[in-house]
Amino acid sequence: MDAICTGQEIDWLEALPACQSGLMARAIFSAKETVYKTQYPLSGQLIDFHAVSIRLDMAAARFAATFHVNASPFRVDEQLQGRFAIDAGFIVTAMVLKGVQAKTARQEFTTWA
Conformational region of residue 77, where left means phi above 0, alpha means psi within -120 to 50, and beta covers everything else: left
| 54-83 confidence digits (pLDDT tens) | 999 999 999 999 999 999 999 999 999 999
β-pair type (79-87, 62-67): antiparallel
pTM confidence score: 0.85
The number of beta carbons lying within 10 Å of the beta carbon of residue 23 is 13
SS3 93: strand
How far is the C-alpha of 10 from the C-alpha of 51, rounded, in Å? 15
Q: What are the start-end ranges of the H helices in the chain?
A: 7-15, 18-43, 100-112
Q: Considering the chain, what percentage of its residues have pLDDT values greater than 70?
A: 87
The predicted pLDDT at position 81 comes to 95
pLDDT surpasses 80 at 108: no
> How far, in whole angstroms, is CA 54 from its chain's centroid?
6
